[in-house]
Amino acid sequence: MSEIKVVANILHTNEEITSQNKQLLNEKGIYVINLMSSPGSGKTSLLEKIISKLRDRIRIAVIEGDLYTTKDAERIEAQGVPVVQINTGGACHLDGKMIKGALDSLNLDNVDLLVIENVGNLVCPAAFELGEDIKITVLSTTEGNDKPLKYPRMFENSGAIILNKMDLLELTNFNKAEFYKDINSLNALATIFETSCVKDPDQGIDELCSWLSQQVNINSQFNQHVSD
């Protein structure tokens, strides 16, 4: 009998494809967001708001992950930006290979910001890198403030966290102080936004959009600097 030292990352195949994706996206100077949350927290509604506020200044494209339908992609398409649908056919997360296929269908020369809307799931998407610059997790007040404690990895790895459905806050038992305390112990450096997409005027969307355009600008200046 012989023992063989392997020392291989089990997700090696994903990481290999992901690093190719990342290299391509970097070359094109595109800022990439991996947008994650549980189902129904408002990812697509937030995206509609973001696109309507930023599309005149920033060239946005979207990759929509969904188990079976094209419902979200249709909503994004109605906003007048390029969108590619990935149907995972039941799989609980997007991976590098799926993103590679989607990138082939986008004209990357005309994109500043690519948003990948992951499958609604607080567990699995956290483990799969897609070649993004930042992970953003959305939590809605109706889900309860205990979710960061219950699903730590997703919140731990996110550069920004959006607390959505603030208009419903007073109808729930969501404890904001507890939420901030938990996020602080888990991921003290995350930028946090409080938003509502249905309140008139909407809440927190301007702050979120100005932060986003700042990130896109920093990214394009960095890429400019690198290519000079």
Partner 1 sequence: MHEVSIIQSVIEIVTKQALENKLTKINNVSLRIGELSGVMPESLEFAFDSCIKGTMLEESTLNIEIVSALGECKDCNLEFPIKHFNKLCPSCNKFCTNIIRGYELNINTIEGD
Pick the binder of partner 1 from 72, 143, 182, 202 (CB under 8 A). 182
> 17 is written with which tokens?
């494809």
Q: Kindly indicate which of the ranges 38-46, 49-57, 146-154, 215-223 contains the residues binding partner 1, using the contact rule CB under 8 A.
A: 146-154
Give the Cα separation of 116 and 149 in Å (integer): 25
Does 188 contact partner 1 by CB under 8 A? yes
| 200 DSSP 8-state letter | S
Binding of partner 1 by 63 (CB under 8 A): no
Least separation in angstroms between CB 224 and partner 1? 27
Residue 177 is a binding residue for partner 1 (CB under 8 A)? no
Give the relative orientation of helices 43-54 and 205-227 as an angle to the nearest 10 degrees. 70
Distance CA 69, CA 83 (A): 14
What does the alpha-carbon distance between residue 176 and residue 191 come to, in Å, rounded to a whole number? 15
Which of positions 102-141 make contact with partner 1 (CB under 8 A)? 123-124, 126-127
Q: What is the 3-state secondary structure (H, E, C) of 129-178?
A: CCCCCEEEEEEEHHHCCCHHHHCHHHHHCCCEEEEECHHHHHHCCCCHHH
User: Quick one: which segment of 9-17, 50-58, 107-115, 158-166 binds partner 1 (CB under 8 A)?
Assistant: 9-17
Count of residues that bind partner 1 according to CB under 8 A: 28
Residue 89 contacts partner 1 per CB under 8 A: no
Q: How far apart are CA 88 and CA 68, in angstroms?
A: 7
In whole angstroms, what is the distance from residue 220 CA to residue 26 CA? 10
Which span (6-14, 73-81, 172-180, 211-219) binds partner 1, by CB under 8 A? 6-14
Give the x/- contact pattern for partner 1 in 15-44, rule: CB under 8 A.
------------------------------
Residues binding partner 1 (CB under 8 A) = 1-13, 92-93, 123-124, 126-127, 149, 152-153, 156, 182, 185-186, 188-189
